Amino acid sequence: MKNLLTATTIFALSASTAAAQFISPTGTFGPKPPAITFGGTGIPGPVMSTTLGNGSLLVLGASQRFDNAPLTNNGAGTYFAAPGTDISSTPQLGWARWNFNFHISGQNAGQYNYRLFYDFNPAEGNTQDQASYGVVRLLNPLFNPQTNPSGVVQGSWNLGMGFLTAGNGLDVVPPSFSFSALTAGTYSFALVAYTQVGDRTNPFGTEVGRVAMNVNVVPEPASIVLMATGLIGTGLVVRRRRRTTAAAQG
């Protein structure tokens, strides 16, 4: 019993003292190779990518959903998108105007397990602990050559998709926040590879590589102009009132 209590105490201490981990753009930014489709057709780049020690490729990217406005980027792993609900030719209520895209491939990709982290709380930007993100577990069986001859696991998803907001038990655990396509701020994503051998404190084993990116959702230029015009107009009204008051007092 004493040994059990000691082990339990050590586990609790190690869990409580684990260092917070934050997500910031990681990898190489560049054009999307034509062979990477994210499971669709015509999904554009550029992308963030990294190659693991065993030759496996991890890729993340962000793009407009169908014919919504294209995204821009800073050339270093941060994309810029407009807030608001999908207004494409096939709109989905509650979905964002942009998707996040991921890709895992390589002859030895099945040597690792993967976790895809996603964000519902853009207000905190890059100051949010990775442990509070939503997570999709992409496990070794997905790369079984008998069921997946291509050896590729990829997708183009939207934060408004039901399985990301509600979860499905073991493989998808949503964040504690709720998603709103109208909320501006910085959304972060990371695709992380882990060794398959773990222990009680780290069931996924050791991290062996990651790729990460930000999507900065900002008001559209027209909205910014209207906002600026409104502020200028307010300033003029206040100044005019001050002059009128000064004249009356004089």
On whether residue 151 sits in a domain, the answer given is: yes
Q: Could you read off the pLDDT of 146-202 as tens digits, one per residue?
A: 889 888 999 999 999 999 999 887 799 999 889 999 999 999 999 999 998 766 667
**Contact (CB, 8 A) for 139 and 147:** no
What's the mean pLDDT in 16-26?
Answer: 76
pLDDT of 200: 67
Q: Report which of residues 143 and 229 the model is more confident about.
A: 143
Same domain, 140 and 237: no
User: Mean pLDDT throughout 19-43?
Assistant: 92
Range of the domain at 250: 221-250
Q: Does residue 34 share a domain with residue 73?
A: yes
DSSP string across 209-227: EEEEEEEEE---HHHHHHH
In a domain, 96, yes or no: yes
Q: For the chain, what is the domain count?
A: 2
Beta-carbon contacts of 78 under 8 Å, excluding residues fewer than 6 positions away, are: 25, 186, 213, 214, 215, 216
Could you tell me which residues are beta bridge partners of residue 182? none
Residue 133 lies in a domain: yes
Residues 61 and 167 placed together within one structural domain of the fold: yes
Q: pLDDT value at position 193?
A: 95
Same domain, 151 and 32: yes
Whether 221 has a pLDDT exceeding 70, the answer reads no
Residue 38 and residue 20: Cα distance in Å, rounded? 30
Residues 39, 112 within the same domain: yes
Asked whether residue 146 falls in the same domain as residue 233, the answer is no
Q: Is the domain of 132 the same as that of 238?
A: no
pLDDT of residue 219: 85
| Residues 195, 78: Cα–Cα separation, whole Å | 28
Co-location of 131 and 200 in the same domain: yes
Residues 138 and 230 in one domain: no
Note whether residue 32 is domain-resident.
Answer: yes
Do 26 and 80 share a structural domain?
A: yes
Note the pLDDT of residue 18. 56
Reported as a single tens digit per residue, the pLDDT across 61-105 is: 999 999 999 999 999 999 999 999 999 999 999 999 999 999 999
33-58 per-position pLDDT tens digit: 999 999 999 999 999 999 999 999 99
Over 80: is that where the pLDDT of 60 sits? yes
- Residues 161 and 230 grouped into a single domain: no
Confidence of residue 27 (pLDDT cuts 50, 70, 90): very high
Residue 46 is predicted with a pLDDT of: 97
- Supply the pLDDT for residue 224: 43
Is 162 domain-assigned? yes
Same domain, 121 and 71: yes
pLDDT of residue 211: 98
Residue 121 lies in a domain: yes
pLDDT at 11: 33
The residue ranges of DSSP E strands in 18-97, in sequence order, are: 28-30, 47-51, 57-64, 72-73, 78-81
**Does 58 reside within a domain?**
yes
